Structure 1
């Protein structure tokens, strides 16, 4: 047996000294995620972000620990605790502290991978003590004295999926010998305390007010029902099936469809989803919650933080032709993304007051989450050419009922394909209609990729209005966003 397997598993410490510290109000993103975690209660750990990755050809433990220490110096969100004080949420950024690190020893790479998977499951299954601990859990698995697997779990209050990928990229650079000072000198990015200060400024307060007004207006005018609902109260024990369509054809066709329709590929997918949901429900007016990264600026794009919030996409009427529906989606999509940054507890209180006053709000239980990262291709992830994959439609799981959700669709980029993951209320959609939705989205994009190129369309008035912020300034949009 190798000497490494004879060493006991244990814990070491990663020490941070003299980093940036401070205290201030929580950001909009921190507030939104914190409220969601409180509402989830015992189920809060399912929001944890997690990854376990091999390290080839292996690193000395001290090199790995140095890289992680530099990562914590670089990104304040990883040293941020959230504390409730006098009915408000406050962020505490620690300048000094110690992070425990699990260290496991295994005799082979195969055993190391298994140990990493088990450690990842244990780390991810526990809720974080948000006021009392840093939102990071770290583990190293060694073979013959070298780190061969890294396990990392973050609280969603510290980062979203975009930020997690930025952290992984920065960790790769730091492990190769760079420092936090090096990376900070090369690019500017927002830190949570700076975000909160901007959001609490007069400009930020105007943006917040405009976004909440957008939500109130759309929920006041949007469709009350999008999918036919059975009579009577829904069964609280009903299941929500998961359907997954893995499509290399969709991944290949989407850029061509976007080019022919002269718009962003995210808009093409959103229009296809609206078209297919309209067909299922017999509706021509659609309303989606769209999950937004708000990474419209360079500083936001480089940040490790949690920015994801919900926008509200309202399409007043589907067109007869898909190309025209895509055009009609551009303005509402921009408006949704533009008005997706706000103080969510304030919005929740306003909507609760409207309901208490007898107002009937529009159905906003359909959720669309395009998770693809436009910068992922330029990030060093160790992968080469995408492998060949086959198209597959499957129903791998079912979930308990989800409060306030009728349909939720995630768009995920995987090597060689795009996956559409759909969870739906089993009382509203059976598996056959879920399959019809996913395959219909795919087919619309494939047909659009082969259609004659659309003529250059003039900017719709709503799109022009939507791209102007509450301060009267025009903003550039990330290429992944419509």
Structure 2
């Protein structure tokens, strides 16, 4: 492998302006600021992919330049203000550095690309001085063979990254920014979003959303899991070497599980891990301080092979407002159909009141806590980053893979998080939990239980359709 090259993509005549940071930008910046330095890069959004059979490097660089014109968030910096908040500045000109690593004929571009991507992802962003995007490219025989993108979460969320990757692919294939803009609903750039938050309508919406959030906090249960006991050993059913505190990214493989279809697996009971009849989740949640001692958190991931196509929807770009809502389902003990309908109504209400000034809400919660007002447990988080795009049906007997890929330092106030991830498979779930509260066997049981419920419902629906036909 030859030495790396740093190429500069010149950017000019872009949209520009300045204004207060959006609620999402401010909240993300504040959350990252509170993290230990080693954890800050883990909050970024990253993706990498091979480019087969290869793309001329000038074509890729030109597509990246056009991507900057398409999304203002990619050339936006966040500067400090005297009151401790952030102010966004959209730069009309500048340059984007692309790190290029050529490889020789006997080197694997995918391995080189993975190494470069890890290096880029481990570097923190200085959002006041840098644009919130890094690009790494591996070339072979004059062609770009692998690309890695790393973005600060102040610029994009998981759904936005999917949009950016799709736009970059289309631009590389010769589509123009105007073509792409015409295919989707017009996206709201960060400055327009900030202008909305200070408008009369934005102020009303902020106040109503925070009022609804606080109302649910007073009604929800004070603890969703029993008080933690002594942590159980990590994945006792595995004979592989176990992760240690010195191995924050250690992998702990488990055997694959395969489920034959159309015969559905039995439902897996999961009620013992939550108080019966009540659910409280923070979709796209956050963090809070509490009195729990620090522990390491573990992540389990389950991936299900392709089964059925998903519905389509029009997407918006990563500059959209980041939403965080409080989902409260007071009574979940009735017949399942009624519970599903109530869940849908509660989810819609959560979505309608999920856009607000998060720092103002945090100040109100701190005040209520100081006054001794009982508030609900907010340590359980759900985040769905998928884009509902068509998926080609796959073989019915493709199975489920369960792995334990990461162990990392605790996030204050986080007991349990479930992420639905963008994936070539029909469903990919990542669960992060405090093992003293949700040990590995319970995490595995929960993930398989979700799979069982989905497959049972799919099988019942298929049989009902057959009888109807």
TM-score category (smaller protein) = 0.7 to 0.9
Give 1:70 shift.
0.4
Give 1:436 shift.
2.6
Note if 1:285 corresponds to 2:278.
Answer: yes
Q: 1:339 aligns with which of 334, 348, 353?
A: 353
2:440 — aligned with what?
431
> How far apart, CA to CA, are the structure 1 residues paired with 2:443 and 2:9?
47
User: After TM superposition, which residue ranges in structure 1, 4 or more long, deviate above 4 angstroms?
Assistant: 238-254, 275-278, 384-388, 450-453
Would you say the 8 A contact 1:211–1:341 is kept in 2? yes
1:72 — aligned with what?
68
> How far apart, CA to CA, are the structure 1 residues paired with 2:99 and 2:106?
17
2:47 — aligned with what?
51
Would you say the 8 A contact 2:9–2:95 is kept in 1? yes
> How far apart, CA to CA, are the structure 1 residues paired with 2:255 and 2:275?
23
Give 1:253 shift.
11
TM-score (norm 2): 0.80
Alignment of 1:269-418 (within 5 A): 278-291=271-284, 301-305=315-319, 307-374=321-388, 376-377=389-390, 386=394, 389-418=398-427
Q: Which has the higher helix share?
A: 1
The gaps in structure 2 that reach 5 residues or longer are 231-243, 286-312, 465-469
The DSSP-based 3-state class of the residue aligned with 1:304 is: coil
How many residues are paired up?
A: 413
> How far apart, CA to CA, are the structure 2 residues paired with 1:393 and 1:175?
35
Give 1:25 shift.
1.1
Would you say the 8 A contact 1:245–1:438 is kept in 2? no
CA gap of 1:443–1:173, structure 2 versus 1, over 3 A, is closer
Would you say the 8 A contact 1:386–1:415 is kept in 2? no
Q: Deviations over 1:421-471 (max 9, x none)?
A: 222222222222223322222223333334579x9xxxxxxxxxxxxxxxx
Note if 1:105 corresponds to 2:114.
Answer: no
Aligned Cα root-mean-square deviation (Å)? 3.2
> How far apart, CA to CA, are the structure 1 residues paired with 2:451 and 2:180?
40
Alignment of 1:177-188 (within 5 A): 177-187=174-184, 188=186
CA gap of 1:329–1:303, structure 2 versus 1, over 3 A, is same
> How far apart, CA to CA, are the structure 1 residues paired with 2:188 and 2:275?
44
Per mean C-alpha deviation after superposition, the further-off stretch among 98-107 and 344-353 is 98-107
Q: Deviations over 1:167-199 (max 9, x none)?
A: 111111211223324433554222111111122
1:465 — aligned with what?
none
> How far apart, CA to CA, are the structure 1 residues paired with 2:455 and 2:141?
50
The DSSP-based 3-state class of the residue aligned with 1:414 is: coil
Give 1:321 shift.
2.6
Q: Deviations over 1:89-148 (max 9, x none)?
A: 110000000111112111248522222111111111011010001001112211111111
1:192 — aligned with what?
190
Would you say the 8 A contact 2:188–2:320 is kept in 1? no
1:161 — aligned with what?
158
TM-score (norm 1): 0.78
The gaps in structure 1 that reach 5 residues or longer are 233-237, 255-271, 293-297, 379-383, 456-482
CA gap of 1:278–1:307, structure 2 versus 1, over 3 A, is farther
